[in-house]
Amino acid sequence: MAEPYLITLRSSANFNGATPIPLTRADFTATGQRQYTANVQGDGIIGADFFGLFASQSPKQVGVAFSSFNPLSVVRVIDTAGRMRQEANLTGDYQYLLLHGGDRLAVLTKETVGLTAPLELSLVVNELSEGDHMQWALAHPPTPIHTRLRIIRTDGTFGASFTGVWLPLFQWDENSSSLVVTDNLGQGPIPIHALTLFPRRFGALISIRYANSNNDGKLILVESLTRKKWEAQTTMQDVRWSRVQYAAHDDMLVLSATPNVAGGPLVCDIEIVRVEPGDRLRGRYSAAEGTSGHNL
């Protein structure tokens, strides 16, 4: 990895995160061939070539620091189509982001300007070699994210049926970042694998809540072969999340609740995240030792 470039952008207006910053290398004041400073006027998109200092298609490691710790001010990594890859709150400390070829930075700030010194954004930019890129990749393996699902009953109840199989046809809702289905007829146990986007060999931690219920909701787990049930939680308060429960990959979930108003909507939200086999056993061991994990 070569010695990094330090780029400092000063602005008397907030960075807007939307329009490209119209500067080139010639617009900067250079110090020692590696430090570049310029003034901007509220634009907020930094191009993939970083004002002509780098090749657009090269991967880069970029450290970002700001003159404020305001949590409303953020920096985003966006791709060539403007889709966000990553977002970080701007702080006075350097935070390091990985930009792939063609990626840009979008800076959006929400500061009080005009009363004190200009806003100052500092960038430390390094172009990555193939070895540098691989080293970063090995240090940042894929991480699982939780899945949020929502089942909406516009009429009727969740009836706690233990026969058959219910496979809700979820669709992705961009606005809520959830998988959503409106289903007034589905009943019966829902296989855990119908709620997950990860391989069936993994177990899961699961929590649910009901909204617009009569405070009578239940979280029921069912063993798939015998259809024997365990009521993990009953008389759930409306809109309050249940305790977290462990479910094996072939377990099933049964929903039970009645609407607060007859004929009104009834909603069940589900959050689920996969559990590695070792984590499952460690949780059980901790419970046996009397520390934590009694719901595992």
Q: Point out the domain boundary residue: 106, 139, 172.
A: 139
* Structural domain includes residue 119: yes
For residues 154 and 130, state if they share a domain: no
Buried b (16+ CB within 10 A) or exposed e, 69-103: eeeebbbbbbeeeeeeeeeeebbeeeeebbbbebb
Tens place of pLDDT per residue across the chain (296 aa): 568 999 999 999 999 999 999 999 999 999 988 899 999 988 999 999 999 999 999 999 999 999 999 999 999 999 999 999 999 999 999 999 999 999 999 999 999 876 567 999 999 999 988 888 888 888 877 776 667 999 999 988 999 999 999 999 999 888 888 899 999 999 999 999 899 877 777 889 999 999 999 999 999 999 999 999 999 999 999 999 999 999 998 999 999 999 998 777 999 999 998 887 777 677 676 766 554 444 55
Are the beta carbons of 183 and 168 closer than 8 angstroms? yes
**pLDDT number for residue 83:** 93
Same domain? 154 vs 244: yes
Q: Give me the pLDDT at residue 114, please.
A: 61
> 33 and 89: one domain?
yes
Say if residue 183 is in the same domain as residue 130.
no
What pLDDT, on the 0 to 100 scale, is given for residue 52?
A: 94
Q: Tell whether 134 and 175 lie within a shared domain.
A: no
In a domain, 294, yes or no: no
Q: Do the domain assignments include residue 14?
A: yes
**166 and 259 fall within a common domain:** yes
- Does residue 106 sit in the same domain as residue 10? yes
In a domain? residue 295? no
Same domain, 156 and 215: yes
Same domain, 65 and 162: no
From 73, 106, 139, give the residue that closes a domain: 139
Coil, helix or strand at residue 157: coil
Burial (Cβ within 10 Å: 0-12, 13-18, ≥19) of residue 184 = exposed
Residues 45 and 127 in one domain: yes
Last residue of a domain, one of 114, 139, 164: 139
3-class DSSP assignment, residue 279: helix
Please, which residues have CB within 8 angstroms of residue 19's CB and are 6 or more apart in sequence?
Answer: 43, 44, 45
What pLDDT does 292 receive?
A: 46
CA atoms within 13 A on the CB side of 38: 20
- On whether residue 54 sits in a domain, the answer given is yes
- How many CA atoms within 13 Å lie on the side-chain side of 30? 10
Domain that includes residue 263, residue range: 147-288
Does residue 163 sit within a domain? yes
Question: Where do we find the tokens 């691989």?
Answer: 134
Residue 293 lies in a domain: no
Total tally of structural domains belonging to the chain: 2
d(C-alpha 56, C-alpha 13), whole Å: 27
The candidate with the shortest Cα–Cα distance to 148, out of 178, 107, 105, is 178
Domain co-membership, 112 together with 155: no
DSSP 71-138: TT-EEEEE-TTS-EEEEEE--SS-EEEEE-TT-EEEEE-----SSSSPEEEEEEEEE--HHHHHHHHH
- From CA 227, how far away is CA 245, in angstroms rounded? 18
Same domain? 155 vs 233? yes
- Give the DSSP H/E element, type plus range, for residue 280: helix 277-288
Q: pLDDT value at position 117? A: 78
Token pair, residue 237, equals: 């308060």
pLDDT at residue 166, rounded to an integer: 96
| Share of the chain residues as helix, strand and coil, in percent rounded to the nearest 5 | 10, 40, 50
How deeply is 270 buried, as exposed, middle or buried, from its count of CB atoms within 10 A (0-12, 13-18, 19+)? buried
Any domain includes 296: no
Tell me the pTM: 0.73
Q: pLDDT, tens digit, for every residue of 141-192?
A: 777 666 799 999 998 899 999 999 999 999 988 888 889 999 999 999 999 9
166 touches 153 (CB < 8 A): no
The pLDDT value given to residue 293: 45
